[in-house]
Amino acid sequence: MYTGILGVCVVAEAIGLGYFFGDPKALPAKVTVIMEKALQDYGKPEVQLAGATFVWDYLMTSDNDYCCGLEGYTNFTGKALPKACCAKDNKLPEKCELAEAEKLKVIGCQTKIDKFLEEKKKLFLIAPIILVVVQVILVILLIV
């Protein structure tokens, strides 16, 4: 019984690995959907949504490589603009106003996200592959 369940898990994980890492567009597309959802929650005060604001603030300012939203300041319509949307000469202002963001046109973070995923793709593969290998070994040991 345990062997069968473990076998099904191994097959499901292998299919998932093939899907996300076999198609070069699958992982970036999924991450973009997740980041779009997090962007909708940006700046909301609820504790469970604070992570979205933290992740986006970190992404927009990491490595002093400033970017703004996925596509630019327009992603923050109806919200206070993050300081990164008004970054100039590698410096963040005290506050970001719409007129300044329109003038500066800080690029969106989509390219930064895609570059990160491409650079770290092999690292993302290591843990699931190790998990599948361990499970295959367990299945073999349980059968023998």
pLDDT band (50, 70, 90) for residue 71:
very high
Q: What is the mean pLDDT of residues 8-15?
A: 79
Number of H helices, E strands in the chain: 5, 0
Whole-Å CA distances, 89 to 22, 61, 64, 65: 40, 13, 10, 11
Q: What is the model's pTM?
A: 0.73
pLDDT band (50, 70, 90) for residue 49:
low
CA angle 119, 60, 89 (to 5 degrees): 105
For the segment 108-138, what is each residue's pLDDT rounded down to a tens digit?
999 999 999 988 888 877 878 888 888 888 8
67: domain range? 2-143
- Average pLDDT of the chain? 87
Please state the domain count of the chain. 1
Res 141: pLDDT: 82
| CA-closest candidate to residue 60, choices 28, 26, 96, 29 | 96
Res 35: pLDDT: 95
